[in-house]
Amino acid sequence: MSPAPSLIGRRPILVTGGAGFIGCNIADRLASEGRDVLIYDALLRPGVERNLEWLKQRHPRRISSTVADTRDEDSLDEAARGADAVFHMAAQVAVTTSLVDPREDFDINVRGTLHLLDALRVAGRRTPVIFASTNKVYGDLADIDLELAEGAYRPVDAVTRNHGVSEARPLDFHTPYGCSKGAADQYVLDYARSFDLPTAVLRMSCIYGQRQMGTEDQGWVAHFLIRALEGKPITLYGDGHQVRDILDVSDAVSTYVTALGHIERLKGRAFNLGGGPANAVSLRRLIAFIGDLVGHDVEVEFSDWREGDQRYFVADARAVRAELGLKTPRPWREGVTALAQWLAESRGLALEAPMAMALGAQR
């Protein structure tokens, strides 16, 4: 499906956090399709200014920017009131940071989101909002019985094992980050109920891909690759058998953009977004594949489990894919290889295993 023609207007589309990893990829897709885009970003995360420069170089006539924080009510109000639609990606994104400074985490994730929603409510234009939520709203999933099989945790229950965790799962916020993102998630949905604002929520699993500035606390697929490319050890928190379904950013962007085109049908609903069972991989298995990519074993160190870490999360994303007619996600080996190549090129390095795809297929 393509975006509905009725959404092609003269006002820019606002992407809060638009210099971040997913935000800049959404902005690039929109600008490539002929839309004007306003990037709203405080540029606090190291390296994201390069993403903004990249966007402006690629789309000098389509991309504009406001360097400001979502806690700046006046700046956010001005940006929101002039927007045709909003992708709200701006957030404090790390569980670890939320544990250090829960007040700031709350201010960015909850107050910032409420500022945005209320600016749009007061403006009275029914501006669509699509919000980037997280699988952390479901808590640590400790009640799901797991078994260890072939070096990876998997649910004992066959339905969960075959399809993943669905939107029917009760919300159970853990850690300040889970609470703040979960509260924002619910505010976004309630503004559809209470004020008829066309909003939708995408609860994301692990997204990876080009333009990702991976760190130990956020963007772990890119972080693992960067450490391996630099010949440095990777620290695993827990036993490394935990499983995630990883989704290439191109598939995530397609979901966001297509959802905007059909926002009236999605209004007031939350959907899981991830790679699904076909793209579920344990941390150890991913590191072994990365070793094939870089041509040598990757050194691994272990540390204690981190607060709120899920031993297993695979998104049941069948609802959003069926609703929007989305294609099958990119296979994880192919996507991780493409990210490795991009990271190597951006750092002036060379992959030592050009036949990495063939090696990965043997695993």
Question: Per-residue pLDDT tens for 213-271?
Answer: 888 778 999 999 999 999 999 999 999 999 999 999 999 999 999 999 999 999 999 99
What confidence category does residue 2 fall into, taking pLDDT thresholds of 50, 70 and 90?
A: very low
Helices (H), the chain: 21-32, 48-58, 73-81, 95-100, 102-106, 112-123, 158-163, 175-195, 220-229, 249-261, 263-266, 283-294, 318-324, 332-346, 356-361
- Gyration radius of the chain's alpha carbons: 20
- The model carries a pTM of 0.93
Please tell me the distance from the alpha carbon of residue 189 to that of residue 117, in angstroms, as a whole number: 10
Q: What confidence score (pLDDT) does residue 214 get?
A: 82
pLDDT at 362 > cutoff 50: no
- 217, 137 Cβ separation under 8 angstroms: no
Please tell me the distance from the alpha carbon of residue 173 to that of residue 154, in angstroms, as a whole number: 22
- What is the mean predicted confidence (pLDDT) over 313-333? 97
Handedness of CA 165, 171, 174, 180 (dihedral sign): positive
Task: Mention every residue, 6+ apart, whose C-beta is less than 8 A from residue 329.
Answer: 247, 248, 251, 275, 276, 278, 279
- What is the mean predicted confidence (pLDDT) over 328-333? 97
Q: What confidence score (pLDDT) does residue 124 get?
A: 93
Q: Which two tokens stand for residue 71?
A: 């806690």
> What is the identity of the amino acid at 288?
A
DSSP conformational letter for 261: H
pLDDT at 133 > cutoff 90: yes
- 106, 80 Cβ separation under 8 angstroms: no
- 84, 7 Cβ separation under 8 angstroms: yes
What confidence category does residue 6 fall into, taking pLDDT thresholds of 50, 70 and 90?
A: very low
Residue 203: strand pairing partners: 133, 272
Q: Which two tokens stand for residue 120?
A: 């749009």
Please tell me the distance from the alpha carbon of residue 294 to that of residue 350, in angstroms, as a whole number: 8
Given 3.40.50.970, 2.120.10.10, 3.40.50.300, 3.40.50.720, which CATH number is that of 5-356? Answer: 3.40.50.720
Please tell me the distance from the alpha carbon of residue 360 to that of residue 114, in angstroms, as a whole number: 45
Classify strands 280-282 and 243-248 as parallel, antiparallel or unpaired: antiparallel
Phi, psi of 180 (to 5 degrees): -70, -45
Query: Is residue 177 among the annotated active site residues?
Result: yes
Catalytic residue, chosen from 153, 177, 208, 312, is 177
